């Protein structure tokens, strides 16, 4: 992740201090991220992606292959510090599009509160196991295994696991 954070900051033509300010994190944290000495939370990485106006997956920098079999244990994962929620990147967007796919593993407890992503972002969620509650645009949706929901990811939204062992697939698209 360290190389990707530095690469994307430099690509954007921003200083370390400016990215830290935009993301709402300390300059020393930002420096540690680029040096590979920090252990960032999901919230920190989402804030960096928003500050750089890029999909989160570009900061996770997974290898690209024509045919790829990825094992969950080998994929980049980020844990939330605010809830029992782990996001594992399954697939990054091709260079000419902005679409990422994540496996979310969550347990009941504190909701995962998401700040709005960049304008035009749409999220899709498919429940594989368990149940989840999504709150967006003043509405609450309860989903169970096999259910699908799409909603504007550029609006504040929350994700709450309702059952132990809940896992979902998230597709995040930005236009």
Q: Which residues contact 124 (CB under 8 A, 6 or more apart)?
A: 148, 149, 150, 170, 171, 172, 173
Q: What is the pLDDT of residue 146?
A: 87
Token couple for 111:
């909701």
CA distance readout (Å), 143 to 79, 125, 130:
22, 9, 9
User: Would the pTM count as exceeding 0.75?
Assistant: no
Instruction: Tell me the pLDDT tens digit for each residue of 104-145.
Output: 999 999 999 988 888 888 899 999 999 999 999 999 999 999
Provide the CA 145 distance to its chain's centre, in angstroms: 21
Phi-psi sector, 13: left (phi>0), alpha (psi -120 to 50), beta: left
* pLDDT tens profile 75-89: 778 888 888 888 887
Quick one: pLDDT at residue 97? 66
Q: What is the pLDDT of residues 93-104, one digit of tens each?
A: 666 667 888 999
Q: How far apart are CA 34 and CA 29, in angstroms?
A: 9
Distance of alpha carbon 48 from alpha carbon 61, whole angstroms:
14
pLDDT at 98: 77
Q: Percent of the chain having pLDDT more than 70?
A: 90
């Amino acid at each position: 992740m360290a190389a990707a954070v530095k690469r994307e900051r430099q690509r954007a033509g921003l200083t370390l201090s400016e990215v830290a300010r935009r993301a709402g994190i300390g300059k020393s944290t930002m420096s540690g991220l680029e040096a590979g000495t920090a252990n960032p939370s999901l919230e920190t990485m989402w804030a960096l992606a928003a500050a750089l106006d890029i999909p989160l997956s570009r900061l996770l920098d997974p290898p690209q292959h024509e045919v790829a079999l990825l094992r969950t244990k080998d994929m980049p994962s980020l844990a939330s510090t605010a809830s029992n929620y782990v996001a594992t990147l399954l697939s990054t967007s091709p260079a000419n599009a902005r679409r990422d796919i994540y496996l979310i593993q969550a347990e009941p407890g504190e909701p995962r509160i998401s700040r709005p992503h960049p304008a035009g972002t749409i999220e899709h969620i498919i429940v594989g196991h368990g149940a989840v509650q999504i709150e967006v645009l003043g509405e609450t949706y309860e989903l169970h295994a096999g259910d699908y929901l799409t909603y504007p990811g550029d609006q504040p939204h929350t994700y709450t696991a309702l059952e132990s062992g809940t896992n979902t697939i998230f597709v995040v698209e930005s236009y």
